[in-house]
Amino acid sequence: MAAQRGKKPFHFEQVDFDEATGEVALTYRFTGEAPFVERITLPVDGLDLVVDESFAATLRLLHLMAGTSYFKTQAPRDLVVETGALNDAEHRLVTTLYDHGMREFAWFNKLDIPFEVEVEAVATRPQEKEQKSAKEPGAHAGRGEPIEGHSEAPEPKAEKSRIARPLVPFGGGKDSTVVLGLLPEATPLTVNPTSTHRRTAEALGHTLVEVRRKIDRVDDLISPESLNGHIPITAIVSAISVAYAQLAGHADVVMANEQAASEPTVWTPDGHPVNHQFSKGATFELLFRDALVSRRVGVDYFSLLRAMTESEITARLASQTDALPLIVSCNRAFKGAVSGGAEGSQAWCGECPKCHFTYLLMATALPPATLQAMFGQDLLQHENLIPQFRELWDDNAKPFECVGSRSEAAAAMAHLATDPQWADHRVVVACSAEAKNYSPSPAPTSEFLGSDATIPPAYLERLAR
């Protein structure tokens, strides 16, 4: 049975920052109900803090993005921002994030897609409200086409002659490991880190910046009476990272989001894209950049891997031998820890689509013995996993997970059939012929995939080495 959206407006009430402790308190409330107060602790010891209007602007963007964790319990149409007026760039960002970033949530709760919201900013003047309601930003033009309100062509590259103090959000997996390997001068940041994050960063010659995020009233969020589902977590991590960078004087926040993150997971029967990885995609990156620029935030935000394919990333990863035994790209391994709970096993589960895709792509660059040592088993020898590997290139059944494009998964499987080290593995024997014949459905077109146009020249030079 389809769920129903709540009727009580969702309020973004207040943002507070304690300079002595680094604690950010984000307050939310549904009309007439008790508040939620999320607490995020930024490490401030020994820092010469930059607490100014730009930092306040980053905290407000964080407030707006982190609200998805609480909004989803009732998912009303009406959002009320009580922290001041939104400019056009912020309005586009919020309406798009609460639509596209919440579409997987809507899909599984059988709610309407597009998943539209109406935003009222208490301090917005009447003429501004009329202007914004004339044409709602964030409406989608069609099957994966660019979001209205932002042109397909990104702004020109920032003219930076050198790389200075980049901050890299670090998840402990293959993509952020590649970025850290490319940027030895970078500082990695992890939200609710585990021992795996620390060991991998240390193997790469880095010490983590450790941020703590404590979600409020978790029992209420997962109550059977509440709606539940996926939120755009990368948007929240991005906003935390930019806020810390502004506070601590880092020039750039360098993400590890690849080209394939922009490919929709599924399409609705009437052609609307639903992307599990929306907040890793190119459209979110551009909208967030616009919002930062609109508030004169001095931190540049971009993904170093935006124009790279999964196979290109895997080829770079294969050379990082010190980190290979330590990386874990399995989300199940960190379940609980990312929201402030227990660490868990922090090992590849071998059962989820992300494990399957990562194993498949890494097999194109690494021998069986290396992957078996990393994963604790040979996933391509398990006949029971054949259906799961096939889903990686299925136009109608791609998993709702952080996996690469259908085309790259199929190409990788077809390639393994030509590699004597892998050709006789049971999954390769069963799947390689159909993978070789795979061609994408011509109907759905991908969201604007992005390019390297947002990457500053000094970083492009590093990529070219």
CATH of the domain at 272: 3.40.50.620
- Within 10 A of 188 (CB to CB), how many other CB atoms are there? 27
Judge whether 13 and 28 are in contact, CB under 8 Å. yes
Say whether both 101 and 124 belong to one domain: yes
Q: How many domains does the chain have?
A: 2
Say whether both 252 and 358 belong to one domain: no
Question: Binning pLDDT at 50, 70 and 90, where does residue 395 land?
Answer: confident
**pLDDT (mean) for 423-452:** 79
**pLDDT (mean) for 90-96:** 97
DSSP codes of every residue in 318-360: TT-TTTTTT----GGGGTTGGGTS-----S--SSSHHHHHHHH
- Within 10 A of 136 (CB to CB), how many other CB atoms are there? 18
pLDDT at 443 over 80: no
pLDDT at 334: 67
Closest by CA to 360, choosing from 400, 419, 306, is: 419
pLDDT at 42: 98
pLDDT at 130: 39
pLDDT at 383 over 70: yes
Closest by CA to 348, choosing from 372, 383, 313, 316, is: 372
Say whether both 83 and 131 belong to one domain: yes
Question: Binning pLDDT at 50, 70 and 90, where does residue 402 land?
Answer: very high
Say whether both 77 and 168 belong to one domain: yes
Say whether both 36 and 87 belong to one domain: yes
Determine, yes or no, domain membership for 150: no
| 47-61, 168-182, 325-339: the lowest-pLDDT one | 325-339
What is the pTM (predicted TM-score) of this model?
A: 0.90
- Within 10 A of 215 (CB to CB), how many other CB atoms are there? 18
| 106-120, 141-155, 367-381, 424-438: the lowest-pLDDT one | 141-155
Say whether both 400 and 257 belong to one domain: no
Give me the domain span that covers residue 173.
10-138+162-307+450-464
Say whether both 382 and 237 belong to one domain: no
Determine, yes or no, domain membership for 151: no
Say whether both 302 and 238 belong to one domain: yes
Determine, yes or no, domain membership for 391: yes
Determine, yes or no, domain membership for 335: no
Say whether both 251 and 390 belong to one domain: no
Determine, yes or no, domain membership for 222: yes
pLDDT at 147 over 60: no
Question: Binning pLDDT at 50, 70 and 90, where does residue 128 land?
Answer: very low
DSSP codes of every residue in 12-40: EEEEEEETTTTEEEEEEEETTSPPEEEEE
- Report residue 26 as tokens: 């984000």
Say whether both 106 and 72 belong to one domain: yes
Question: Binning pLDDT at 50, 70 and 90, where does residue 283 land?
Answer: very high
Determine, yes or no, domain membership for 20: yes
Question: Binning pLDDT at 50, 70 and 90, where does residue 132 land?
Answer: very low
Say whether both 426 and 454 belong to one domain: no
| Residue-wise pLDDT tens digits, 325-374 | 888 888 777 665 444 555 555 789 999 999 999 999 999 999 999 999 99
Determine, yes or no, domain membership for 328: no
Distance between CA atoms of residues 116 and 77, nearest Å: 7
Burial 275-310 (b: 16+ CB within 10 A, else e): bbbbbbbbbbbbbbbbbbebbebebbbbbbbbbbbb
